[in-house]
């Protein structure tokens, strides 16, 4: 690779780094639309790098500079990904709340389950569960012990 070609490649890497730093800042500020726009531009530069940075024989200085730039880009990407993961988690929580509200508006038809069991000294006559669409479970335990009747719920 000729020196001028090396310089052109390093310029592209520096441009990618600059965009990565801008994306990192946008992610910190939760500016997702602007972040997406920068990512589109950055992808185009990375594709150009794939086509341009093909030489096998390069100088040590070029290799060192390239390595340093790539490491800096990757550091920016890691932090940006942390912010986007955090935002994705928040979005998931928002969707979960919206879905719960949507389900809550549905009619809540109880499902009743009856059973008779012997638990220790207590004879459980009936165990009734009311299970609603919002995952709320209400139960009543009717039991007899020493001919006494009690209700738990």
| pLDDT tens-place string over residues 104-140 | 555 544 454 444 444 444 444 444 444 555 555 554 4
Query: Residue 110: inside a domain, yes or no?
Result: no
Tokens matching residue 29 = 């500020």
What whole-number distance in Å separates Cα of residue 42 and Cα of residue 115?
A: 64
pLDDT for the residue numbered 88: 82
Q: How many domains does the chain have?
A: 2
Query: Looking at the structure, do residues 16 and 47 belong to the same domain, yes or no?
Result: yes
Kindly report the CATH number assigned to the domain that includes residue 87.
Answer: 1.20.58.380
> Where is 122: in which H helix or E strand?
strand 122-131
Per the structure, the complete domain to which residue 123 belongs is given by 117-152
Query: pLDDT tens for residues 81-101?
Result: 998 888 788 778 878 777 776
Can you give the pTM of this predicted structure?
0.59
Residues 74 and 41 in one domain: yes
The mean pLDDT value of the chain amounts to: 75
Question: Angle at CA 77, nearest 5°, toward 93 and 75?
Answer: 125
Compute how many other C-beta atoms are within 10 angstroms of the C-beta atom of residue 73. Answer: 20
CA distance to 17, 118, 128, 153, per residue, from 144 (Å): 74, 10, 15, 15
**70 and 121 share a domain?**
no
Same-domain status, 92 and 123: no
Residue 109 maps to a domain: no
pLDDT digits (tens, 9 = 90+) for 8-46: 999 999 999 999 999 999 999 989 899 999 999 999 999
| Shared-domain flag, residues 45 and 78 | yes
Q: Let me know whether 25 and 97 are in one domain.
A: yes
Residue 5's pLDDT is 86
- Per-residue model confidence as pLDDT tens digits over 52-65: 888 777 889 999 99
Q: Tell me the β-bridge partners of 126.
A: 142
Output the pLDDT for position 49: 93
């Amino acid at each position: 690779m000729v020196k001028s070609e090396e310089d052109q490649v390093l310029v592209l890497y520096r441009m990618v780094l600059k965009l990565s730093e801008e994306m990192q800042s946008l992610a910190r500020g939760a500016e997702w639309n602007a972040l997406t726009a920068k990512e589109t531009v950055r992808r185009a530069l990375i594709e150009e790098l794939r086509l341009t940075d093909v030489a096998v024989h390069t100088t040590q200085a070029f290799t060192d500079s390239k390595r340093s730039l790539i490491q800096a880009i990757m550091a920016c990407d890691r932090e940006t990904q942390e912010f986007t993961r955090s935002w994705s988690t928040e979005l998931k929580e928002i969707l979960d709340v919206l879905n719960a509200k949507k389900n809550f508006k549905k009619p809540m038809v109880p499902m009743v389950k009856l059973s008779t069991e012997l638990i220790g000294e207590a004879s459980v006559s009936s165990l009734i569960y009311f299970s609603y669409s919002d995952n709320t479970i209400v139960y009543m335990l009717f039991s007899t012990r020493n001919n006494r009747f009690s209700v738990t719920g």
